[in-house]
Amino acid sequence: MSRSVGSLTFMGVGDVILGDPPDPKAIFTEVLPQLSQADVLFGQCECCYSLRGELLPQARGRLSFHPRNVEALQLCGFDVMSLCSNHCLDMGFTALRDTIANLAEAGIRQVGVGENIAQARRSVLVEKEGVTMAFLAYSPAQHPTFVATSSQLGNNPMQIYNYYRDPEPDFPGVAPEVITLPDRRHLKWMREDVAKAKSEADVVVVSFHWGLPFVRNALADYESELAYAAIDAGADLIIGHHQHLLKGVEVYKGKVIFHGVNHLSVWIDYKRQSGDLAQAQSLEDRYGDAFFGDRMESSNPFHPDANNTIIVKAEIRDRKLDWVGFVPLKINDRSQPLPTSPGDGRFEEVVDYLAAVTAEVGFDTRFVVDGEAVRIVTS
């Protein structure tokens, strides 16, 4: 779409996993009109697309699928996708390199991984309509061996450490309080990289693959610390994912932090493709109905709450963020994201759910319906 110089529409979504559905392009048929409104579209590529590789022993699954699925991502119009996640090296270096090449061939630039730490830390710049946008991606949720080093392919580093405090020393057996802190070196590097990106771009978007999966309204305390640090260094918008649920929306210094935008689509046959049914069962044991429940035969096995999802939307005018909000979507049992409209009930379900989980973690963020979207009040 064409607008005056210095103005454009940005959209961003969470995790996308296309585990070889019968017709990958059909997954996005209904939502294409919404995605096509974006001048710049960002998403989280939560798996690899390669026919090669071997399952690593530390991997949490076998999330690597046929390269033909990339055609569906291309159809959506993604300009940039983060590969920075806890699954990017499930099938080793070869599968990740194939995925980078397959995305590039489809015209999709990747951020958050690299052949070495310098490449993984590098921002991706996109210039359209007289606006330069910069993207950076980090994955606090990852196995430590997935981090890029001076000589190893991997994720942009952001290690988180757990500490445990006994809240009731005189009551043995009480669950400890979990305190999470980011690695100080990695935090310093992130600040430097965001500041550099801001010196090169009008708008900086930082993506975090983070948080507590499958658990309603719970946030890890490192999330806000990272988001605040990124915003203080120059970030304009924070997009979080990985939890497979919507999480609270926070406003800090007039900038919006989406702690969790859920996935746009996860189509996967867990019985056939997860790589480890025992591990899948352990997830169900840990998270209960939030993960499989009685839906293991479905290609969309998550809790019904995970069918509430959004597209982050931002309007940039005069090279600055002028409007930030989201477009509510519903995911059906075939893992297809579906548009909603005010008054149809589904729109209100998504908005009410996001407002509720936002309030439950103590954020007083206000949402205002604005046409087919919802604006977040930032001042």
What is the rounded CA–CA span in Å between residue 183 and residue 207?
Answer: 18
Does any domain span residue 321? Answer: yes
**Where do runs of H (alpha helix) occur along 31-89?**
32-35, 70-76
184 located within any domain: yes
Whether residue 312 contacts residue 239, with contact meaning beta carbons closer than 8 Å, is answered with yes
Domain of residue 73 covers 8-376
Domain assignment present for 3: no
Q: Is residue 1 part of a domain?
A: no
Could you tell me if residue 211 is left (phi over 0), alpha (psi between -120 and 50 degrees) or otherwise beta?
Answer: left
CA distance linking residue 336 with residue 317, whole number of Å: 32
What does the pLDDT read at residue 1?
Answer: 41
How far apart (Å, rounded) are the C-alpha atoms in residues 159 and 369? 37
Q: What CA–CA distance (Å, rounded) separates 24 from 319? A: 35
**What's the pTM?**
0.94
Q: Residue 180 burial (CB < 10 Å; 0-12/13-18/19+)?
A: middle
In a domain, 2, yes or no: no
Residue 338: inside a domain: yes
CATH code (residue 237): 3.60.21.10
Name beta bridge partners: 249. Answer: 258
Residues in CB range of 29: below 8 A, 6 or more apart: 336
pLDDT (0 to 100) of residue 183: 97
Contact between residue 262 and residue 310 where contact means Cβ atoms under 8 Å apart: yes
- Between CA 312 and CA 374 the distance in angstroms is 10
pLDDT in tens, the chain (379 residues): 446 788 999 999 999 999 999 999 999 999 999 999 999 999 999 999 999 998 888 887 789 999 999 999 999 999 999 999 999 999 999 999 999 999 999 999 999 999 999 999 999 999 999 999 999 999 999 999 999 999 999 999 999 999 999 999 999 999 999 999 999 999 999 999 999 999 999 999 999 999 999 889 899 999 999 999 999 999 999 999 999 999 999 999 999 999 999 999 999 876 665 554 555 566 666 666 555 555 555 677 788 999 999 999 999 999 999 999 999 999 999 999 999 999 999 999 999 999 999 999 999 999 999 999 999 999 9
Domain count, the chain: 1
